[in-house]
Structure 1
């Protein structure tokens, strides 16, 4: 026996007022499975185009860039630092701090420029600026050698800023050259290759100084 329609208890409006999206659904789907209700609710809210998340990957690409781009970036930084140095905005101490970023490559760059400066300036002063007669004796030749070497050292103090700036500009290229030299001649580390290059520079300077001194003695 069915109950009379006027005796049916009215349903509470709070049952469907808790979620306004449920009011949009047909009545036979409101009391279904919660997962199905959520799926239908999302479909009604977003349709066939769900929201997409966007993120920027530029910073990741820059951080994980190829080694070639990193080397080119170092070269650009070295050239920019050298330009600032030529403008007089950097001191020798500041340039030395920047050279330390390159490690032994920065030290080698500065050492190569010093070797080239001392050898070239010494020969120019000895032969052209203050020429001396040949066969002047060993004692006189040694005295002349130390006098000219003192003059060259005084000139190096004047040109120290320019040489430091040049070393900073060449540091990225010296870094690449040192890596190539290490791999080419089979050194176990760049430190050993660095010591070999430094030893060669010292040997070259000693040979040139001895040859000049003996020829004029």
Structure 2
């Protein structure tokens, strides 16, 4: 979903933010990558993380299936759920074996110095946890446009390149999520290179909007604005 090849990741420092109970770090470590994740949940006990991860999968699937614009057939829904459960199992194993790779912290303030990472990956958080009215999953506007801008700028402070997915609305009719365009415009105004790049993760109704957002800090620009 980040439009990356394994060769793109070799020899660089990678941050997964927020990492959540997912398998990106686990998979990266098996491939010899220098990768870590950050999430406020990582101060929890392992059994609590597993329980929360299973609940999130169940709740997200239920929300998608109740929305007539995003509902999947039973077979596709079950396939996706099984993939997410397998990823959760990989996370639990890696979290127990490599706790130093899982750092406690959260956007919009990260405990890293400027340019600590070559690449920051942020999946299924920004743009997803906006309000339902704006194409997200939340019942409130707590994670508003200002939060999104502050968070993306913080990712750019600690990393030379940021990739975020998805850019489409996860509830309601197929469309770009409402915050994507103003965030991209603001980052371009900051002097950074911002592009929508075709992604491979989702097929079907969202194909037209199935892009990741890639932001590259301008050479010599220093930390993000």
**Fold agreement, TM-score > 0.5:** no
Which protein has the bigger strand share? 2
Specify which structure has the bigger relative contact order, considering alpha-carbon pairs within 8 angstroms and separated by 6 or more residues.
1
Which protein has the bigger helix share? 1
Normalised to the residue count of structure 1, the TM-score between the two structures is 0.22
Larger Rg: 1
Normalised to the residue count of structure 2, the TM-score between the two structures is 0.22
